[in-house]
Amino acid sequence: MNLTSEMFGLTLFLLPGIGRKTVRQVLIQCDEPPNSAQEILEALHAHAGKRGEKFTIVDVTPALDRADQLISESLEQGITTLSVYSPSYPDQLKATDDPPAILYVKGDLNALRPKDSIAVIGTRHPTEYAAKSAFRIASRLTKQGFVIVSGLALGCDSQAHEGCVDAEGVSVSVLAHGLDQVHPKANAGLAEKILDNGGALVSEYLVGEKPQPVYFVERDRIHSGLSSAVLVIETDVSGGTMHTVRFAKNQGRQIAVLAHPDAFSQDSKSAGNRELLTEKEVLPISDSEGLELLVRTLREPVESRLDHDTVPSPVGTQKDLWGDAQ
């Protein structure tokens, strides 16, 4: 029996007490996938430490059969299973320090390997300015050839996806549950539009897995991992968006933050924006020129090194992203 790396990795995941880091550790140590349940067991004993030593062939054989069944069931639903060593696995994500050992994808795999991609994220309960900004910014970036990455949540995420779809672009949605469902259900139609436009839904969770609070934190590293930059539309200081920002920093991604005009600048919903904008490495986006600077920084990183002396102030009277004086 010739096992794929996907079947090997999923078999390991199905064993109790084996997490994604152990799965990745075992995969890394094996030059090629095992050819039988016995060889999987030997790999566990050799490379999974004390956790692997407790398993016997009685544990591994049903896990292998279940892995084979799950991959087949996923394919029937249009879901592709990728291991971290699959040729179709996204390079940017693979290069991070904690890539998913197994990734599930519904849609076009090419959406995960773009030339340019940006995560556009923010609160589920945005101000009017932030909601409008998420849509318009995503639309503008889409027209410049960027794939838009977000999380399909209500609020800023939905508006970013909608802006991308409206501009007839490609969007990737990273989900915190199995791909046989859409959460929230209100965005099922948006998910279909993303797929119809050549985009993709992505998750590291098995078909049938329901959303859990910890999953939303874990998936945030995939947001930034799939992107060259993270653009924060609006967040408070403790919002879930801040998890993605921390992951982005660890992954060496460019971080950009929407600077609100005076009418919205003191709203508690944007307190996280104000905090992030005090950091030297963060690129403020206060108008169209700031957005263009972000694009140049990503596409010409040497020539367009961020210099805050040349960036318009994020506070005070200025033009917003639509050219209206604030």
- One digit per residue, pLDDT tens: the chain, 326 residues? 568 999 999 999 999 999 988 999 999 898 888 999 999 999 999 999 888 999 999 999 999 999 999 999 999 999 999 999 899 999 999 999 999 999 999 999 999 999 999 999 999 999 999 999 999 999 999 999 999 999 999 999 999 999 999 999 999 999 999 999 999 999 999 999 999 999 999 999 999 999 999 999 999 999 999 999 999 999 999 888 999 999 999 999 999 999 988 777 778 899 999 999 999 999 999 999 999 999 999 998 644 444 544 444 444 334 555 544 33
Give the per-residue pLDDT at 88.
94
Integer Cα distance of 46 and 35 in angstroms:
16
Task: Say whether 36 sits in a helix, a strand or coil.
Answer: coil
Exposed (0-12), middle (13-18) or buried (19+): which is 98, by Cβ within 10 Å?
middle
The tokens 């010739």 sit on which residue? Answer: 2
Q: Which two tokens stand for residue 209?
A: 């897995």
319: DSSP letter:
B
Give the per-residue pLDDT at 263.
74
Task: Say whether 283 sits in a helix, a strand or coil.
Answer: strand
One-letter identity of residue 292? E
Give the per-residue pLDDT at 32.
85
Would you say 111 and 95 are in contact if contact means Cβ atoms under 8 Å apart? no
Q: Which two tokens stand for residue 32?
A: 């090629």
Strand 102-107 vs strand 147-150: parallel, antiparallel, or unpaired? Answer: unpaired
Greatest C-alpha distance within the chain: 70
Strand 254-258 vs strand 283-285: parallel, antiparallel, or unpaired? Answer: parallel
Would you say 256 and 229 are in contact if contact means Cβ atoms under 8 Å apart? yes
One-letter identity of residue 133? S
Give the per-residue pLDDT at 239.
83
User: Per DSSP, what are the bridge partners of residue 150?
Assistant: 173
Using alpha carbons, select from 43, 39, 63 the residue that is nearest to residue 52.
Answer: 43
The three-point CA angle 255-259-262 to 5° equals 170
Give the per-residue pLDDT at 320.
53
